[in-house]
Amino acid sequence: MSEHPSPQLFSERVRRELYEQRVLVLDGPLDDDNGMLLATHLIALAAEDPAADVSLWIHSPGGSVPAMLAIRDVVRIVPCDVSTLVLGIAYSAGQFLLSSGTRGKRRALPHSRVLMHQGSAGIGGTAVDIELQAGDLRHTRDTVLGLVAQDTGQPVERIHEDSLHDRWYTAQEALEYGFVDSIVRSFDDIAPRRRRQVSLSATAGRAIA
């Protein structure tokens, strides 16, 4: 008997339906590919309707620092608010994106978990290479920690100290620390907006992405 692959539960169709409701999802590690996709989708949704919120739902163990910084830059320049929600875990880059959302619109499910740490990177090569890489890593670390301090309202010194070792936060602890602004208590807190009804005449001649 031949084995059939298990169906993909979170399909592209589901992603498209959520996109049409202005919901973007980071499910799994953040890499340069899905990071740039999230950034460009955010720009596209902001251009489509500059006044309507965009939601970013997060369940991620972390990932690419350049991608998370790019997404945060976009969040800061688009005219619409960007609400963030941790569905399960927001670790490292996931935590960074969670707290990067619009102040007052960053949320956590009651049993979600948040992890903040500085991360690590391998350094190798000649002595000159090692010195250059170390300098770049310090710059990146200081940039990230400074932004987390801005987003949480915590002093940079505390962010630095707390990020030296892995530390997990419950939803309540994440709220108290400043990663999020509220804990989800009802469906209305996170329900996507209803899909707009567009007439055929209004869409005539418009290309479908």
Q: Which residues pair with 170 in a beta bridge?
A: 113
**CA separation for the pair 111, 134 (Å, rounded):** 37
Cβ contact 133:123 at 8 Å: yes
* Strand residue runs (E) in the chain: 23-27, 54-60, 82-91, 106-108, 113-116, 167-170, 182-183
Helices first, then strands: H and E counts in the chain: 8, 7
Question: Token pair for residue 170?
Answer: 């419950």
**Is 92 part of the annotated catalytic residue set?**
yes
CA distance readout (Å), 91 to 30, 103, 109, 113: 10, 19, 14, 8
| DSSP summary character for residue 118 | -
* Catalytic position from the list 60, 64, 92, 163: 92
Question: Token pair for residue 65?
Answer: 């620092």
**CA separation for the pair 40, 74 (Å, rounded):** 9
Strand, coil or helix: what is 180? coil
**Is 117 part of the annotated catalytic residue set?**
yes
What are the catalytic residues?
92, 117
